Amino acid sequence: MKTIKRYLRLYRVLIVQFFKVIMQSKVDFLMGLFGFFFTQVTGILFLYLVFEQIPFLQGWSLEQLIFIYGFAQIPRGIDHLFTDNIWLVAWRLVINGDFDRYMLRPMNVFFQVIAEKLQPDALGELLVGTILVIHSCRKGIVVTDALHIGLFFVSILAGALIYTSIKLFFASFAFWIKKSGPFLQVAYEMADFAKYPTEMYAKGIRFLITWVIPFAFVAYLPASYFLGRGGFFGAGSSNVGVIGIECLIAGLFWCIAYSVFQKGISIYESAGN
Amino acid sequence: MRRKLRIYVPFALNELKTQLSYRGAFYLFILISTFSSFISYFLWMAIYGSTDKVMLGGLTRNEMVVYIFMVYVTRSIVCISISDWVSEDVVKGTVAMNLIKPMDYRLSLISRALGRSGYQFLVPSVFIWIGLELYKVNVLGMQVTGIWNILLYFISSIMSFLIFVLFDFCVGMIAFFTNYIFGLLMVKEALLRFLTGELIPLSFFPECVQRIFDFLPFSSMVYTPVMIYLGKYNTAELGFVLARQAVWVVLLYLLGSLIWKKVTTRLVVLGG
């Protein structure tokens, strides 16, 4: 309990420092926010233009696809906001030897990595996601009983944890190969596949994004549960189990990623002179 | 002319050599860059599968396959983001070095972009292009693209390249006014993906929006060469779109010169 309190206090101190930096450059902050916001908006415009031509896409309506698209942004945004510094581990900190500073302080190393930075650009993704989800709720296409709403929050947290785990896992390679940025990027960009119904992909790709780099469990599969669609476990089944599997995957991937990270720290050698 | 070549050709060759020496990471980036093409491919196949219409936005299902992958090829030889380099030069202050050398900064950037373009044409565009042609003939049962279309495609692509880099040079100039253009470059990226027809063929837009696009340089960057490749223009239209591209090259060249003159008079470089 005492340690938790200590870490919470430390987090607050570190984040306050960070906010001071942001306040120095408000324009940068707004442009970054707008950048991410705008990128997502073009994705929606694309769907609009396509649905000018067709009424349904493999049984999905425009409104449903927009919900999936919006829902996918929320776990992504949460992870992006809090753990963006993991990218620097992959690209720079290990190869430069800057990782030294985390090793010297008497604090949990992972905690230090993520506490060093909040990524305000992520608010663009969260904003788009929230707007689209609220929009879909008002259209009445989302199931909004107590169970679904409760699981909604469980699902976005588990989803964010899956994102973090995948990032941490690939970033940790840097301890062995010094620079793992490109690998991390490949894995991270796979998330784009899960913004759309995954049935449309070839079998191999579908398997990959469902079970190997499980972004389907972050975006498409839980989203289809909230839309009241079933069928993941065979015809006629409800998809409530999907949320269960999502949590299981989140827990499992987190344990794997964190132990790889710990192993990496133990063999970390500083660079330079 | 000889002298000019001697000055600027090394920029192109250097870029080519740099790219060749960092191949490992580059292969992974190639993989990433094909992701969005494959997502579009599956998405469009699902879209065509959901309708009885043969044509959507003036393209048949098979033509759409060609469109998606030719966009990839065209993009990798046309869209070389020199504004990244400009902002890097400005932030590091190395732009000062470029100003005191007896050469044109813009021309050196364009030469460097040409090197990058050549490299990206070799790895992997040319393979994707050949793969596409084979797929087209063997699986889709379409005709091989005629030599005339290919020739026109390359002429058009060269102009597209010039339009893109000249435009991007103007965008890069913004780096002189603000230090953080990451957000801005992202907006540019998203906007271009949309307006150049990369995300969706411009023929899907409502009629009135397409009229507006006619007066913007973006459709000349990617959409025009790809449509030429698909043989979608008749002779009169061909002359028109090629002429329009040429006009944009000239206009953007003049605009870039003007901005450059304005910017260099107020440049402040920190450090030494």
Contact in structure between A73 and A170 (CB atoms under 8 Å):
no
State mean pLDDT over A47-72.
Answer: 92
pLDDT at site A235 = 58
Measured between CA atoms, how close is A208 to chain B, in angstroms?
Answer: 13
State mean pLDDT over A25-29.
Answer: 75
pLDDT at site A248 = 95
Nearest CA in chain B to A40: B190
pLDDT at site A88 = 92
pLDDT at residue A26 greater than cutoff 80: no
Burial class (CB in 10 A: 0-12, 13-18, 19+), B125: buried
Cross-chain Cβ contact A121/B42 below 8 Å: no
DSSP readout, A67-131?
Answer: HHHHHHHHHHHHHHHHHTTHHHIIIIIHHHTTTHHHHHSSS-HHHHHHHT---TTHHHHHHHHHH
Cross-chain Cβ contact A57/B184 below 8 Å: no
Cross-chain Cβ contact A35/B32 below 8 Å: no
pLDDT at site B272 = 45
pLDDT at site A32 = 78
Which residues in chain B show pLDDT less than 70? 21-24, 179-180, 267-272
Residue recorded with tokens 């009135």: B208
List, for residues A79-116, the tens digit of each pLDDT value. 999 999 999 999 888 888 889 889 888 889 999 999 88
Terminal Cα-to-Cα distance of chain B (whole angstroms): 34
> For chain A, what is the mean pLDDT?
89
Give the model's confidence band at A58: pLDDT under 50 very low, under 70 low, under 90 confident, else very high.
confident
pLDDT at residue A28 greater than cutoff 80: no
pLDDT at site B180 = 65
Minimum-distance CB partner of B194 among A25, A42, A189 = A42
DSSP readout, A165-194?
Answer: HHHHHHHHTHHHHS--HHHHHHHHHGGGGG
Which residue has better confidence, A242 or A26?
A242
pLDDT at site B179 = 63
Cross-chain Cβ contact A31/B184 below 8 Å: yes
3-state secondary structure (DSSP) of residue B170: helix
